[in-house]
Structure 1
């Protein structure tokens, strides 16, 4: 079974939702038979600033709130993150364009290190004083995730590298009706929006597993139909 997760590194509920999903997955009996694919979604694709801005300032401006109200919003999210055992800084975090991060995550997927890089990027962005909008920090994170530093730098230096893959993920999200993240899709049959409780993910996994398409193995085997008629396969030999 495949679970696809659309998310953005700038999204705190994606950070929290990933942790909750993994807890729900751990309770699923067939967890070792689930393939996880992380897909790209930009919360602020039009952001074109050369320099990142402080998250509190961005929230106040975006939602028309005072700084105090924005700080209260962050404190609420932080409480949810910490309840899941996640670190979370409410002050001093940056916000910027995440397109380069998504491109690097596609490189990581191609090298089998996507989940490792995503975890490191989330931690750097939300729990550590490391700006994921800095190219040197991204390269350092890529190396920590097991990627080659020169290859990571080459991807970041070439704006076309993995750009089509990011855009394709975003188009697919739109086609599936996703207008917010995190967005979880189970075998292209069921979708869950938001960082739901772990038990919701366990239930969705169980339902998707129950309803997954049956894979037929083998051909020309003997079988009986609902009318009681049975067919004997032709094997090329002669019945005595």
Structure 2
């Protein structure tokens, strides 16, 4: 069974959703027969490579919120991340174009190291003091993941390298009706939007395994926190269930 996950490194709910999915997968009896493929989705596809800003300042300007309001929102997301055992810095993170990161992830996919690089990139972006919008940092992460340094540098130096793969993933997301991430597709039969609880993923895996004759894409789970195509990331309200 194949699980495809559309996500963006800039999306906190993709970071959280990956951890929740992996918890659901860990308890699945047939987990060794599940192939996980990560696919590209840019939240800010038109952003120039050199246009880098602090996340808090960018969100405050984009949505007309005060800096204090944005910091509070980020604190709520951080609490969700920490509940999954993930590190999360509410302030000091950069925001920029993720196109090069996605291109490098396609190189990693070709070398069988996609999940390793994605995990390291998420950690660098959300938990560590490393900007994933810096080519030097991306090369370091690629090497940490097991990629060849010369090959990683060559991909970053050539804007056309794996560009078609990134665009093909994004077109496919649109064709499937995905307008927010994370977006999980199980065996091209079931679709799950948002950073759902791990129990939802566990149930979905079981259902998809049992119903492998189904061909239409069926939504599973209620709506959950996600980052939409405009780059807006939902934040659970106090007292609401975190999903």
* Total equivalences in the alignment: 214
1:74-119 Cα deviation digits (max 9, x unpaired) = 0000000000000000111000000000000000000000000000
Structure 1 residues 49 and 108: CA distance shift in structure 2, 3 A:
closer
- What does residue 230 of structure 2 align with? none
2:39 is equivalent to residue 31 of structure 1? no
1:103 and 1:131 map into 2 onto residues whose CA distance is: 17
Q: Which of the two has higher C-alpha Rg?
A: 1
1:62 and 1:33 map into 2 onto residues whose CA distance is: 43
Structure 2 length normalisation: TM-score? 0.87
Unaligned runs of 5+ in 2: 215-243
Answer with 41-50 or 24-33: which moved more.
Answer: 41-50
CA apart distance, 1:124? 0.2
Unaligned runs of 5+ in 1: 215-240
- What does residue 211 of structure 1 align with? 211
CA apart distance, 1:50? 1.2
5 Å-filtered alignment, 1:83-232, equals: 83-213=83-213
1:47 and 1:161 map into 2 onto residues whose CA distance is: 18
1:43-94 Cα deviation digits (max 9, x unpaired) = 0111126141000011111222110111011000000000000000011100
- What does residue 14 of structure 2 align with? 14
2:119 and 2:127 map into 1 onto residues whose CA distance is: 11
1:116-161 Cα deviation digits (max 9, x unpaired) = 0000000000000000000000000000000000000000000000
Structural RMSD (CA): 1.0
Structure 1 length normalisation: TM-score? 0.88
2:42 is equivalent to residue 42 of structure 1? yes
5 Å-filtered alignment, 1:65-76, equals: 65-76=65-76
Any runs of at least 4 consecutive aligned residues in structure 1 with deviations exceeding 2 A, and if so which? none
1:91 and 1:117 map into 2 onto residues whose CA distance is: 23
CA apart distance, 1:186? 0.4
